[in-house]
């Protein structure tokens, strides 16, 4: 009897943790999507200001841009918290769904034309995210090996050099988006692999914290430079594809990520649907 109660109690705790973590992940997606729409509105409203560095400062000073950056920070914090108990596959796919919120809000803030395909893509995103969320199960990552940590550190200079070369040689903007997505994926991997901490001091001293922060910085730089040179939609699509797929595979193979028993196929289908819908939503739109 006592064993039965203990099992029920453990199950209840697991379910509660999953619900809380999914709430954090979806909250992150909403904040990310709304933040992107506000940043786009800030850029649109200051597009006639001084070009160059002063023009960038004008964009950053606009209230919409400030609000957008704050929401981006909130989204980042929520996603890192969600990764503490949810696999990378789940959190990263949910974050990709943020583009649906951006598209919906952009209709109001930027006056972007409504496309029939967008409606279907947003509905498909909802279906995909429901499948991914339903397949989620609360779990801690396996403690990473020394080799895993070394590889994450080694990728920092490699990504930095690759990004600098791409910027100097003016490669396709989507390539910069993919590099940014790779950096964001490494940041998520580092966050997911931080399992052996006990208190704030352990966290501050943990080497993977700095891998997480530096990769996040690289991701932002590469993404913004890609958007500067090309269409935000194609760059964003490349970023999400490079961020979700490799990191999710590494999470399953190296960190022991998994889905609920019997939910592997629905989870993969949900990810494919979400990515396809994201690419559809990222197509260029003419803003009047």
Rounded Cα distance, 139 and 141, in Å: 6
- The CA dihedral of 140, 143, 149, 151, to the nearest 10 degrees, is -80
Least confident range of 101-115, 185-199, 215-229, 235-249: 101-115
Rounded Cα distance, 115 and 105, in Å: 14
Q: What is the pLDDT of residue 188?
A: 93
Look-up of token digits 């490699």 = 158
| Nearest by Cα to 89 from 127, 135, 31, 124 | 135
Length of the chain: 288
Q: What is the pLDDT of residue 207?
A: 87
8, pLDDT greater than 70: no
Contact assessment for residue 122 and residue 100, using Cβ atoms and an 8 Å cutoff: yes
The CA distances from residue 215 to 29, 48, 154, 179, 282, in Å, are: 19, 33, 12, 11, 24
154, pLDDT greater than 80: yes
Look-up of token digits 């801690």 = 140
182, pLDDT greater than 90: yes
Rounded Cα distance, 77 and 79, in Å: 5
* pLDDT tens string 50-65: 444 454 565 566 777 7
DSSP string, 37-76: HHHHHHHHHTTTS--HHHHHHHHHHSHHHHHHHHHHHHHH
User: Residue 132 — left, alpha, or beta (φ > 0 → left; ψ -120 to 50 → alpha)?
Assistant: alpha
**To the nearest whole number, what is the mean pLDDT of the chain?**
82
25, pLDDT greater than 80: yes
CB neighbour list of residue 218: distance below 8 Å, 6 or more residues apart: 156, 159, 160, 163, 179, 180, 183
89, pLDDT greater than 50: yes
Q: Where along the chain do its domains lie?
A: 1-139+259-288, 140-257
Q: What is the pLDDT of residue 177?
A: 87
Confidence of residue 43 (pLDDT cuts 50, 70, 90): low
Confidence of residue 241 (pLDDT cuts 50, 70, 90): confident
| Nearest by Cα to 222 from 243, 208, 251 | 243
Q: What is the pLDDT of residue 269?
A: 94
Q: What is the pLDDT of residue 223?
A: 82
159, pLDDT greater than 80: yes
């Amino acid at each position: 009897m006592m064993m039965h109660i203990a099992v029920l109690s453990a199950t209840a705790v697991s379910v509660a943790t999953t619900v809380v973590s999914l709430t954090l992940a979806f909250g992150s997606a909403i904040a990310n999507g709304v933040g992107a729409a506000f940043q786009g509105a800030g850029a649109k409203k200051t597009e006639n200001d001084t070009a160059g560095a002063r023009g960038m400062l004008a964009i950053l000073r606009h209230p919409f841009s400030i609000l957008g950056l704050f929401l981006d920070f909130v989204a980042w914090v929520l996603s890192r918290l969600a990764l503490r108990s949810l696999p990378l596959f789940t959190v990263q796919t949910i974050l990709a769904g943020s583009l649906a919120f951006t598209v919906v809000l952009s209709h109001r803030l930027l006056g972007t034309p409504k496309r029939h395909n967008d409606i279907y893509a947003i509905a498909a995103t909802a279906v995909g995210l429901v499948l991914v969320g339903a397949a989620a199960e609360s779990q801690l990552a396996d403690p990473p090996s020394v080799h895993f940590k070394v590889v994450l550190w080694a990728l920092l200079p490699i990504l930095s050099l690759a990004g600098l070369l791409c910027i100097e040689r003016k490669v396709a903007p989507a390539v910069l988006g993919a590099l940014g997505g790779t950096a964001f994926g490494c940041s998520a991997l580092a966050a997911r692999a931080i399992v052996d901490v006990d208190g704030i001091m352990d966290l501050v001293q943990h080497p993977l914290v700095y891998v997480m922060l530096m990769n996040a910085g690289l991701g932002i730089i590469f993404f913004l430079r890609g958007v500067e040179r090309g269409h935000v939609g194609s760059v964003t699509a490349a970023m999400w594809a490079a961020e979700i797929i490799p990191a999710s595979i590494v999470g399953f193979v190296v960190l022991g990520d998994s889905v609920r028993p019997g939910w592997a196929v629905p989870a993969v289908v949900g990810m494919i649907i979400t990515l396809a819908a994201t690419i559809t939503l990222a197509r260029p739109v003419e803003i009047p």
